[in-house]
Structure 1
Amino acid sequence: VVTEYGPAIGLWIMGLLLLLLFLMQDSESDDRIFPKGTLNPLTISGSGLVMLSAFFMATISFTVYGPFLMYILFGAEPLVAGYIIALESLGWTVTAIVSSGARERFEPGLIRSGAILISITTVALVFVMPVGPLWAIGVLSIVMGIGYGMSWSFVSKRIIANVSETERTQVSASIPTFMRVAMALGSAFSGIIANYSGFSETNSPEVARNVAFWCFAAFIPLVLIGMMSAWRVSKE
């Protein structure tokens, strides 16, 4: 628990700037770790990485604080809260299997539909997480997973297909790397938001409702970035 927000925010910003500096230095190197034009929203591969990074940052609060908030606000047992979080993985897995054989002409629609579902559920959690009911949070968890399941593999496919042959190994490795970096940044920022919203002082239901609102509302700009990037990466 952090009671002084300035240092935490400063360290988060410093970490982000150091990451951007590293990417800039890497792009100018002759022996690059990441492909050229990483995170360039004007390219298909860059916009795909931006989309995945933005959505993972925007939704990681659900995994980080969801179980704790459900316990405080609704008295959900840890096992029950864990099952609700796991519903996202279930929805993701089942949808990915079902949609894996989709023809190429359906891929843009699946990418955009997935982005829409992820965006809708993230915005809905802003209002549902503070007041419930618990079953509605479970439904949103499944729908979020469905959104990822119907878009993830096709976005990854387009990211890899739209770089040069020599950089495909690099870009394949960059997808899980950026996923983890995005989750780390999102987790750190959601922790700052949670403490700023009152968790640094008490874990009462009143404070938890405030945290439940802001831990999702603060990431809506990233949802919009993810949506715009989804339209770019799914362009015919």
Structure 2
Amino acid sequence: MARLIHCFKFDVKLLRLSYSFPFAAYALCVFLMLSAGTRSDDPFLPYIFLQGIAVPMAGWHLLFLYSSLYEKGAEETLLFYYRRMLPVDIIRYMLVHGLLVSLLAGLAAWINGPDFFSGTILVHLAMLFIFYQIIGVALLSATNSLDVTIGIIVSYTFMEVVTQGTFMPWPHLFLFEEPFHAFWLRLTFVSLGVGILYAIVQLWWKFN
């Protein structure tokens, strides 16, 4: 436990103000859920806030922690340390952000009623959370650039959420309405599965 506390303290010192960004995003998500979500006739609006704001920001800490690996001249020095710490870092931040995202999901269930979270939506939320937790570090290890990685993630997420999946025909990672069409629902899960598999393979290849 003392070692875990030390790791979190080290992360806070390393990231400084940027460490608070995911928590600010969670606060924004709560505000939007309670203000717009409770007044809207669309039951999916609180879930859109959850999956479009909170879940992507949940991967912020890992992405920025590992960005120091790709600063000029740092990779040879830090790779051994990060290779050893990657599983620990993924697990501890999955636990932290998983708890906070679960609380936000509870708020969405309180707004819409507990029946809103069907098995399909729960599986989707879990897969989307895992995807965003590891895809940032995976893309970072492939591009060796924090700016490029953020650009890819932010551009895709923003366009998908703002246009509610109408900007690109495929791939889609989000659900914006009750999943009536089995074909498009399967494609969403295929997209998430492929993304998670790619991230795992990329991380294994880079840090093994």
Structure possessing the higher radius of gyration over alpha carbons: 1
TM-score by length of 1: 0.33
Using CA pairs under 8 Å that are at least 6 residues apart, name the structure with larger relative contact order, 1 or 2. 1
